[in-house]
Structure 1
Amino acid sequence: MGCARWLALGGLLALVGLLQARLLLPHQEGFGECDRFFYAGTPPARLATEAHVRICQRFAGTERFATLYSPGHRIPVFSAFRAARPALLSAEQRGLLEPQIDDPGSSLEEVIEEADAITSVNNLGSKQALNADYLDSNYEIGQLYPFLLSSGPQVPTFPLTNSVPMTRSFRERWHVNLNSLMERALIPHCGDGKDLYIITGAIPSDSRVKGRVAVPEFVWLAACCDVPGGGWAMGFTKHTQDSGIIEDVMVRDLEQLLPHKPQLFRDSCGEREQDTEKMKKILEVVNQVQEEERSLTTQHSMSPLAGTQSQRSAPLSPEAREGGGSFLGKVLGFLLTPVIKLFQLTYYLVIAVLRNVIYLLWFVTKQVIDGIESCLYRLGAATVSYLVAIGQELVGIPWKVLKVVAKVIRALLRILCCLLKTVCRALSIPLRVLVDVATFPVYTVGAIPIVCKDIAVGLGGTLSLLFDTAFGTMGGLFQVVFSVFKRIGYRVTFDNAGEF
């Protein structure tokens, strides 16, 4: 293994620490921050079930694409991403694992190597594919969102949650098809790809790799261009048979081929405003890609015969012409072979030790960095919380002062209102009443002598009346008595006079 390859491997190991995947909980809607990878922020309808797992694939704290994963088939249902220019760099294919799929209680939120997952993840492989599933099989790891379509080699397309079993020839042709379609047909007719939404998926068949990982019956791609006044939508399918050619279909027809007949794009990607002229141009390019694929298929089918003929007609090597070398060469080769083998063994042991040392240093460095990052995060969170609390209080002071001032002004207005009411009520009283009230004391004081005089006259009249009554009564009694005695005396006198 060359030095450059070791450096590349070390870089990939370092990148593993930056790859993250957020598994959405059942009560959460959509794909969280990864909703932006869907047209109008809306994931496909009627395609996800309760058994599926929604993953927001992230890198260095930034979401990169969304994946709907089927634990029952151990392959993704689809991966959704925004179109990007094909990457110029390449990297070794790797299969990383999502710890929380097999172990929901795991505290690991980042994708990890399978070797590390063996000791840290419970029930490993119970719900997702492993690298071991692809060993000694006729299938390779085929990414739905291909590494070569990402905008850079660091984009996390490596997880097995983004991969399905593909034969080598099918995987190469599928990725070549995607590259050609993106570079020549889709991106140029969608405003340089800034408003292009891509969904790639796989339909599982009854065949499984080692009885675990479902082999796709066919893979599909749906593209939606959201350009105002000039959008379009296209679909493509490719059967996993070696002779299959990528086929173009309308998105509505593609939806009929998928389970549960979902709606891939909201409002069918603005179907009423789609630009048919652009779709015709895209189909012309698609026809060219199909012709190129047919030509390549024909060449590959003829290549075994050509290879056999070339082998037959190729000249023998110098060693073959020499008849296997001299006797001295054979003896030297026999003696030097153990030395060479020992040197190779020492070389591999040194490389393995260096690899483990580098991995240990990387792991320790990662743990230290994670610890420092955690401490800094907590310190930053505490500082932010403290500053936010102080800011809230400082912001609240003017508000509280305004509330006090408002209450004072309100009290003053109430007092002024009461005074105005009093004045208004006072002004509403007649002037004569006010004059009478003002002159009441004068009249009262001036009337006292008259009242006293009237009282005295009344008392005098009363006494006079009493005296008159008493004297009149007595005079009347005397008059009655006098009249009685007078009558009695007259009668006596009269009687006496008759006698004489």
Structure 2
Amino acid sequence: MKHLVFLLLPFFTLSEVVDNFSKCSEFFLNNKPPEFTPATGNTVKHICQCLWGDKKQQIYLYATLYSTTWKIPIYSAYVFGSPNIGRCDAWYIEPQLDGDTKPKCMQPKGKDKTIGTNQALNCDYADSDYDKGHLYPVLHTNNHLSMLATSTLTNAAPQDPNFNQGSWLKNERDVMKDLKSCDKAYVVTGVVPNLDEEKMNEKVTVSKYYWRATCCQKKNQQDIQKAYYGPDNNDKVQEVTILELEEGLRGFFNVPFKIFPTIKRQRE
């Protein structure tokens, strides 16, 4: 892993908490994020996940809608890339979520005791029964910058280890094979929280379902959309239509949820 350490040297990890996704709209189909307004009592933050390049320029890599109420992301949106280059498990937090005066740079851990009020920390996962489940997975990256940027706790939720390392990992690989022939593919991956489950470390809401929606674009062809969620009762991943997934999300969140809002779909 020495080469990964070397690659880290020219870059500083950064993510920017913003009012909306206008700075990183390129990660959404037709530059439009999902239509979703959280219900009263669920505070969310828009995060443009990015890095400082060696020329001191911001390089945006994906977008995340993060719930500071549940301390997990609602979704992360990205443009699919593959193959990936390996993995480095240096997990970061986002100081900005705990105060406007905090530095923008992601930090490996929170030395400031005020950090952690609005987000999960590494220590919350220690001795727990859950994995840090990526929304934007390493397998769907194709460069070391994107790979590094996925390992922030704002892009992860507590996930059952068997599901994370089993059927959900298989789905990530299946989607990778499915999308690699696309000219361009947009992906939105999200979490449905389990509000009936005891919170991890009495603080972080665990995930009940993970879901993923993809849109594959090929020249002179109609966009191909697919959707998945899991676990079902057999701890498997189910493939459903985008409409069925949106109806399920609407039923849970009790508000409209349209993943690809610029696409008109008829009820199937």
Bin of the TM-score, shorter chain as denominator length: 0.7 to 0.9
- Residue pair 2:135, 2:155 contacting (<8 A) in 1 also: yes
- Residue pair 1:205, 1:214 contacting (<8 A) in 2 also: yes
Alignment pair present for 1:97 and 2:93: yes
Select the structure that is richer in helix: 1
Aligned residues: CA RMSD: 2.3
Larger-gyration structure (1/2) = 1
- Residue 164 of structure 2: aligned partner: 171
Q: Trace 1:361-440 onto structure 2 (pairs within 5 A).
A: none
SS in 2 for 1:236: strand
- Figure out how many residues of one structure are paired with residues of the other and give that number: 250
- Residue pair 1:205, 1:215 contacting (<8 A) in 2 also: yes
Alignment equivalent of 1:180, drawn from 157, 174, 177: 174
Given the two structures, how large is their TM-score scaled by the length of structure 1? 0.47
Distance 1:9 1:181 in 2: 26
Q: Provide structure 1 residue ranges, at least 5 long, that are not aligned to the other structure.
A: 273-500
Distance 2:235 2:83 in 1: 24
- Residue 16 of structure 2: aligned partner: 22
* Distance apart, 1:251 and its partner CA: 0.6
Alignment equivalent of 2:22, drawn from 7, 29, 32: 32
SS in 2 for 1:254: helix
* Distance apart, 1:172 and its partner CA: 1.6
Distance 1:216 1:250 in 2: 21
* Distance apart, 1:8 and its partner CA: 6.0
Fraction of identical pairs, as percent: 27
Distance 1:214 1:271 in 2: 33
- Residue 107 of structure 2: aligned partner: 112
- Residue 126 of structure 2: aligned partner: 135
Select the structure that is richer in strand: 2
- Residue 249 of structure 1: aligned partner: 240
- The runs of 4+ residues in structure 1 deviating greater than 3 Å are 7-15, 47-50, 226-229
* Distance apart, 1:220 and its partner CA: 0.2
Given the two structures, how large is their TM-score scaled by the length of structure 2? 0.85
Q: Which amino acid aligns with 1:68?
A: L
Alpha-carbon displacement from aligned partner over 1:17-72 (angstroms, at most 9, x marks no partner): 521111113xxxx3122101111111111245672000000123211000000011
- Residue 199 of structure 1: aligned partner: 188
- Residue pair 1:32, 1:56 contacting (<8 A) in 2 also: no
The 3 A distance-change label for structure 1 pair 171 and 236 is same
- Residue pair 1:170, 1:240 contacting (<8 A) in 2 also: no
* Distance apart, 1:13 and its partner CA: 6.2
Q: Which amino acid aligns with 1:76?
A: P
* Distance apart, 1:140 and its partner CA: 1.6
- Residue 263 of structure 1: aligned partner: 258
- Residue pair 1:75, 1:214 contacting (<8 A) in 2 also: yes
- Residue 493 of structure 1: aligned partner: none
- Residue 151 of structure 2: aligned partner: 158
Q: Tell me which of the two structures has the higher relative contact order, counting C-alpha pairs closer than 8 angstroms and 6 or more residues apart.
A: 2
* Distance apart, 1:166 and its partner CA: 1.6
Q: Trace 1:229-240 onto structure 2 (pairs within 5 A).
A: 229-239=221-231
